[in-house]
Amino acid sequence: MDGTKGHGLRNVASHCSISDMDDYDISKLLEKPRLNIERQRSFDERSLSELTISLARGLDSYEPSYSPGARSGRSGFDTPASSARNSFEPHPMVADAWEALRRSLVYFRGQPVGTLAACDHASEEVLNYDQVFVRDFVPSALAFLINGEADIVKNFLLKTLLLQGWEKRVDRFKLGEGAMPASFKVLHDPDRKTDTIVADFGESAIGRVAPVDSGFWWIILLRAYTKATGDLSLAETPDCQKGMRLILALCLSEGFDTFPTLLCADGCSMIDRRMGIYGYPIEIQALFFMALRCALSMLKHDQEGKEFVERIMKRLHALSYHMRNYFWLDFQQLNDIYRYKTEEYSHTAVNKFNVIPDSIPDWVFDFMPTRGGYFIGNVSPARMDFRWFALGNCIAILSSLATPEQSAAIMDLIEARWEELVGEMPLKICYPAIESHEWRIVTGCDPKNTRWSYHNGGSWPGVVYIS
C-alpha cells in the first residue's frame, strides 16, 4: 500500500476532531485552541477528495466551494470557484454527485426541507426510501453547508423540531417528549394545492423500532450549521433550546440506563434487522458522546440550561472513561484478554465482564497489527463483539472520544489492514461479515444482509464523508 494514504488519514484524524480534550479535564474543552493542520495531498488526488476535506474544515471554518447546477439566487453565499481560496477543477464525479443530490431535494410549501433517502427509479416498490431520514440527510446537509446553501439545512432543522412536538405513539406505546422522528414524508395535494407532512417515529418502520440516533444527529447538525454560518441566533431561540433539553432529558434520565453508556434496543440504532448489537454498540456511544459535546457548547447557561450542563459534564467524564478503557482493543489488550482469569469477584477484578478467553474469534489474531487498535463493537457480560465498525470508530475520532493516541492507532489499523477494510471501494461499515449458520441466527436469514452486503460488511455512502 502507498504509505501516503496512512499519513493523510492520520492528519485528517487530527484535524477532524471537534476540539482536542484532556483525558479527564472536560471542563476546559471550550477554552482550548483548535489545531489547524493542513493535509498534504498529491495533485491527482486533490479534485476527488476536495469535498471530503472541505467537510472536515466545515465544522471549524466556513468556505463555500464549487457546486455544479446550483440555482442562481438560491443562496447569498455562492462563491465562484475561481475566487475560492482552494479553487480547483472539479472531477466529473463531483458534478454528477451534485446533480443527483439536487434531484433528491424535497420541498414543503415551496421551500427545500431535506433530501430523499434514495432515488431508485428502476424499482416500483420504494418502501420508505422516498422519505427524508434524519440520519441520511446529515451528509447532504454538510455538503450544502460547505457550498453556502445554509437555508436548506435551517429549514430541515426547524421542520424536524416542529415534528418533535407531536404526540408520538408506537403500537399504542407513547414515546418520550424528546424523541425525534426517524423520517418524514411530504404529501402534495395538487387539487387543493396543499402540502402535508407525515412523520414516522418508528410506528411504520421495519421491526417497529423507535430511533435512538435521530435526536443526536439533530443536535450535531445544529452545531454544524452554527459553526458553518456563524449564525448563533438559531441555536439560541427558545424552541431550539427546548428541543435540545427534551432530547437530553430523554437520554440522560436515570431510568433510561444505569451505566454511563446508552442502552439501545436491538435494531434501533443504525439497522432494521437483528445484527446482534443489542446493548451498547460503539456507533451509538460515539454519537451520544458527540451530541453531548455539541449540546454543551450551545446550551444557554440560564437556570434550566445550567442543570443540563452539569449533567452533561458528569456523563462525559463517565462515558469517556468507560469507552476508552473497556471498549478499546489493541495488540497489548488482546494479549491481556487472552490471559484473563475468569469468575473474578470484587472491585480488584481485572476481568470485570467475565470474558472467557476461548470466546475470542480466531480472525482477531490475524487482523490485529502490532501497531494500531480500534474500539470494538460492543461489551456485555461474558461477551465482547470484536468486530470492527467504521462509523463508530470514525465518529470517536471526530468527537475526541478517542484520545490522540487512540485516534492515531485507529488510522494505523486502517493503513495496516487497507485491503481488508477498504480495498477498491469505500470503507467497509463492518468487518468481518458474518455468514453461514451465524448469519441465519443473528440476522434472521435476512437476504438484504447476506455477507459483504448492506450492513453485514458492506459499505454505506455516508461512511465516505466520515472517513
**The residue count for the chain:** 467
Q: Is the peptide bond before 432 cis (omega within 30 degrees of 0)?
A: yes
Q: What is the average pLDDT across 423-449?
A: 85
373-380 and 173-174 as β-strands: parallel, antiparallel, unpaired? unpaired
132-133 and 183-189 as β-strands: parallel, antiparallel, unpaired? antiparallel
pTM, 2 dp: 0.80
Mean pLDDT of the chain: 79
373-380 and 132-133 as β-strands: parallel, antiparallel, unpaired? unpaired
Quick one: CA dihedral 140, 143, 147, 151, positive or negative? positive
Per-residue pLDDT tens digits for 9-59: 444 344 444 444 444 444 444 444 433 433 333 333 333 344 344 444 444
Cβ 254 vs Cβ 351: under 8 Å: no
Q: What is the amino acid identity at position 159?
A: K
Q: Give the number of other Cβ atoms within 10 Å of residue 196's Cβ.
A: 11
Quick one: CA dihedral 255, 442, 409, 363, positive or negative? positive
Cell readout for 362 is 480466531
Q: What is the amino acid identity at position 250?
A: L
What pLDDT is attached to residue 81? 36
Name the DSSP letter for residue 301. -
Task: Annotate 57-96 with DSSP letters as a single string.
Answer: HHTT-------TTPPTTS-TT---GGGSTT-----HHHHH
Q: CA geometry: angle at 213 spanning 319 and 353, to 5°?
A: 40
Q: Give the number of other Cβ atoms within 10 Å of residue 2's Cβ.
A: 10
Per-residue pLDDT tens digits for 54-110: 444 444 433 434 444 443 333 333 333 333 444 456 788 899 999 999 999 999 999
Per-residue pLDDT tens digits for 372-398: 999 999 988 888 899 999 999 999 999
Alpha-carbon gap, residue 274 to 283, rounded angstroms: 15
Per-residue pLDDT tens digits for 323-373: 999 999 999 999 999 988 888 888 888 888 888 999 999 999 999 999 999
What pLDDT is attached to residue 60? 42
